[in-house]
Amino acid sequence: MTIHENYSLRACNTFGIDAKAARFCAVASVVDIWTAIKQNTDKLPVFILGGGSNLLLRHDLPYLVLKNEIKGIKIVEENDETALVAAGGGENWHDFVLWCIAHNLGGVENLSLIPGTVGAAPIQNIGAYGVELKDVFERLDATHLGTGGIGTFDAYICDFGYRDSIFKRGLKGKYAITRVYFRLQKTHKLNLSYGAIAQTLEAKGIKKPTIKDVSDAVIEIRSSKLPDPTEIGNSGSFFKNPELSKTDFEAVETNFPDIVHYNLPNGNVKVPAGWLIEQCGWKGKRVGNTGAYKNQALVLVNYGNASGAEVWSLAEEIAQSVADKFGIRIVPEVNVLPYQN
């Protein structure tokens, strides 16, 4: 285990931003985390990095960055209907999904091709095409970055919400998620509620889809809308889709009768941020080295040498224009670092 000083994070974030960590170390076990914490005698704040796919590095990080490389996937318990699968926090998320499909275990196929790691997935309760991580989550193991104490957290403690959990609130930055346990189905219950999946399957003439068919459809849909981070730097959706009260929504709808929206079971109304941003004229627009992607305005991109500050400045400008036009505040979904107080 080597601790590096002044380490470039360019290859460690899918936005491809060239910011540096004051100190950097890859950790492959809980013991490695303990060792790194013990050696952190000048008490730099500790930050756990996963796949770096949901991050915007605005500046260099005055942190000790620990890259989670804890590996291993196995079935730890099973019955006739389900299997409990444990996966190391440093496993690549999509590789984990493919492992589940290869073992004929259903539940995560709609979450195919989401960049990032298994350990980062619960933090923002990753979701796509009608499924969220919380739907298959059983529990997780985590190590406290201050004391080194280890704990187990169930779904109740994690308190998942839309792109949200306790690890984005009260426990933000406090724990390394070392292992996640998923309850997966042997008898598959496919979720085809998201129109594009059903359309893609139909276009391929698939009448009785398998979990592999659904995964392939999701991969096709994602690839057509979202830029490949190995070609164009990005962090997926940059902002969350805002949720408005019915009254607030109706006030906006009076002025914008065509506004795209979804009624939520709790009575609120969700508006796609991608639509709001497109209406403000940002879709496909390039500003210096950055811009809003041509096929999905919610995705901000780095065309080459954008600095984190440049992307952040565009994000602020976009949010301001949405607020000015619609009176709706959109907030980042990505983790913006260093943290602002």
Which residues form the interface with ligand EPU (CB under 6 A)?
A: 128-129, 225-226, 236-237, 240-241, 260, 272, 274-275, 278, 283, 296-298, 333
Strands (E), 129-251: 131-132, 137-144, 150-154, 175-185, 233-237, 243-244
Cβ 332 to ligand EPU shortest distance, Å: 10
Q: Could you list the active site residues?
A: 163, 237, 333
**CA 91, CA 50: separation in Å to the nearest integer?**
9
Residue 41 one-letter amino acid: T
In the bound state with ligand EPU, the residue whose beta carbon lies nearer, of 42 and 258, is 258
**CA 136, CA 123: separation in Å to the nearest integer?**
14
In the bound state with ligand EPU, the residue whose beta carbon lies nearer, of 52 and 274, is 274
In the bound state with ligand EPU, the residue whose beta carbon lies nearer, of 23 and 222, is 222
Instruction: Give the closest residue to 333 by CA, choosing from 221, 238, 192.
Output: 238
Cβ 128 to ligand EPU shortest distance, Å: 4
Cβ 114 to ligand EPU shortest distance, Å: 7
In the three-class reduction of DSSP (H, G, I as helix; E, B as strand; rest coil), residue 94 is classed as: helix
In the bound state with ligand EPU, the residue whose beta carbon lies nearer, of 6 and 193, is 193
Cβ atoms 189, 135 nearer than 8 A: no
Cβ atoms 97, 112 nearer than 8 A: yes
Q: Tokens 């318990």 sit at which residue?
A: 77
**CA 207, CA 201: separation in Å to the nearest integer?**
7
In the bound state with ligand EPU, the residue whose beta carbon lies nearer, of 89 and 274, is 274
Q: Is 310 exposed, middle or buried (0-12, 13-18, 19+ CB in 10 A)?
A: middle
Cβ 327 to ligand EPU shortest distance, Å: 18
Cβ 274 to ligand EPU shortest distance, Å: 3
Tokens of 33: 């985390």
In the three-class reduction of DSSP (H, G, I as helix; E, B as strand; rest coil), residue 317 is classed as: helix
